[in-house]
Structure formats: structure tokens, C-alpha cells
Amino acid sequence: MEKLQESALPARLDGPGVIPISVIVAVRNEARNLPCCLASLRAAGEVYVVDSQSTDGTASIAEQYDAKVVQFHYQGGWPKKRQWALDSLSLAYDWVLLLDADETLTPELAHEISDAIRNPEFDGYYLSLEMYFLGRRLRHGGAGFEKLSLFRHDKGRFECRLREQDRSMGDMEVHEHVIVNGAVGRLKNPLVHRNFESIFRYIEKHNEYSNWEASVLAGHGLRADELPASLSGSQAQRRRWLKKNLFRLPGSPLLLFFYRYVLRFGFLDGVPGLIYSTFQAVQMFHTKAKIYELHTRKV
């Protein structure tokens, strides 16, 4: 596993120096990714690791980094893991930061967060991602995106796009977005997204994602409180609008590959760029095939 240099991590601070945020890291079998994530959170006021009965030592690793480990037992339906954590945990701080196990804070981002949460004008912040895939930073292909991961606990909640969900769709919100009741800003420094897992695990996770996405796009159980698709809205809304309309086109997986790999210069990222662009197109194909399967079951 690639290790972060000690000098590259935020120092653990005591007393007033601690960043007054509650960090929630949702995990399942993330023993390879979790150490780097938790090492980068040493300046956070508290860290919860919300596990799903991992079998690879994830929970014991979290405890080694003094994180509070909570087990989530998913029975299907809503809420899923992160919203359950927001509803159920006794959080010590007003501000919440949601992270994945393959994401890390840089010292620059940690300091920016410390300043940002003291600004009374904002109730939430978008964070951009600096993407690494197969050991290489992806600078092209539309790989980067932003998500609303930092917000006041009493101001933010996840949209519910699909109430009737099951375990085949995973137990964690993936393409659901946080909606904040208040003003939202953007931070300059990115989160680092660096996955140490295998291609096998990548495909396994995205098989669950496509199960969920197929049901959503097929119109099963949509809720009125979801973030609306809009070409003039936030990045998440624009991506949702484009995806909704792109799925209707014949050959859309091939179009997506051409867009990412050629028009967005994904080929400049070498072999990782080729594999990443291909996987994105394949996932769209899987989703479309599952939508077709759902429709045939109704006939």
C-alpha cells in the first residue's frame, strides 16, 4: 500500500487547535484504504467509522486510529448508511464532514476547513476531488467532480431518490446528494481520492451501483424531494440532466466513451485513462441492460 509521508499529514492538535467537526467515514471491507484516510484526520474533533460488518479487519484498524466504530445493519429501504448515521449518532459538533475510505485530507484542505466553518455566511461547502486511478492522477476525461460533503448537521440531509431499495443495491448512498437548507460555498483545496483496492472490488461495487441506478432511471419509487435535474443548476444537477437525456440515445455507452476518452482528452492519462473511460461506458451499458430487464419483467 502506498503510504503518506508523516510531514504531509495534518498534525494531531489538542485543545483549541482541534478542528471542531464530526467526520463520518462509511465503510465495508476497506482495510487497504482506511489507514491513509484516518491518518489524514488527526486534527478532526471526532471521527466515526460506520461499518457494515466488515470481515477484513476494518473495524480493528479504525480503533487503532482512535475512531469511534459503529455497526450499521442494513435491512433494505431508506435511510441508507450515511443518512442513518446523521440521524442516529450523537455528534459532538455542529459541522459534519462525510468521507469515503479512499479519500484523504491534505494539510491545506484541513486548514481551509478550519477557517470555512467559522464563516457564518455559509451552511455547507462543496469539495472537489483530485482523482487517482491505478496509481495515476486522472487530469482529463471528466474524471473530477465535486460533492457537498461539509455542512452544518442541522441544515443538511440526503435526498431520497428511491425508497424501495434492497441489499443488491449496496447499503450506502452513492449518487444521492446532500441538500442543504442554507447558503452553500465551495472550497479551493481538493480532497484526494486514491483507491488502493483491486479492479475486482471496483467492478463489484459498480455492479451494485448499476442495480440502484437502473431502478432510479426506470422510475421506480422516485421521491418528490430529490435534487432536480437541471442544465443550469449545480454540477450534480447538470450531470444528472445529461445522464437522464444521454441514456435515451441509442449507443449511448459508446458516445460516453468517445466523450470521455476523445473529446475530454482521457487518452492523455495513458492506460489508466483508457481503463477508467471504458469502465464508465461499461457501467452505463450495464445500467441500460438492467433497465431493459426491469421493463421486460413488467410485460
Rounded Cα gap, residues 126 and 143, in angstroms? 16
Read off the C-alpha cell for 164.
424501495
Res. 97: pLDDT tops 60: yes
- Return the minimum-mean-pLDDT range out of 79-88, 90-99, 177-186, 200-209: 200-209
Read off the C-alpha cell for 35.
489507514
- What is the reported pLDDT for 198? 87
- What is the reported pLDDT for 8? 40
Rama region for 66: left / alpha / beta (φ>0; ψ in -120 to 50; rest): left
CATH 3.90.550.10 domain locations along the chain: 10-196
**DSSP string covering 179-225, please?**
EESS-EEE-SSPEEEE--S-HHHHHHHHHHHHHHHHHHHTTSS--TT
Which residue has 451499458 as its cell numbers? 285
CA distances from 224 to 76, 79, 221, 227, 239 (A): 20, 16, 10, 9, 19
Rounded Cα gap, residues 99 and 67, in angstroms? 13
pLDDT tens figures, 231-249: 888 888 888 888 888 888 9
Listed in sequence order, the residues at least 6 apart from 188 whose beta carbon sits closer than 8 Å to its beta carbon are 112
- What is the reported pLDDT for 28? 95
Contact 1, 196 (CB under 8 A): yes
Per-residue pLDDT averaged across 4-18, rounded? 45
Read off the C-alpha cell for 248.
435515451
- Strands 68-71 and 44-51 turn out to be parallel
- What is the reported pLDDT for 42? 95
Rounded Cα gap, residues 57 and 101, in angstroms? 14
Q: What kind of fold does domain 10-196 have according to CATH? A: Spore Coat Polysaccharide Biosynthesis Protein SpsA; Chain A (3.90.550)
Residue bearing the bigger pLDDT, 41 or 165: 41
Rounded Cα gap, residues 292 and 39, in angstroms? 44
- What is the reported pLDDT for 14? 40
Mean model confidence pLDDT for the chain: 90
Residue 2 pLDDT class (50, 70, 90 cuts)? very low
Residue 225 pLDDT class (50, 70, 90 cuts)? low
Res. 276: pLDDT tops 70: yes
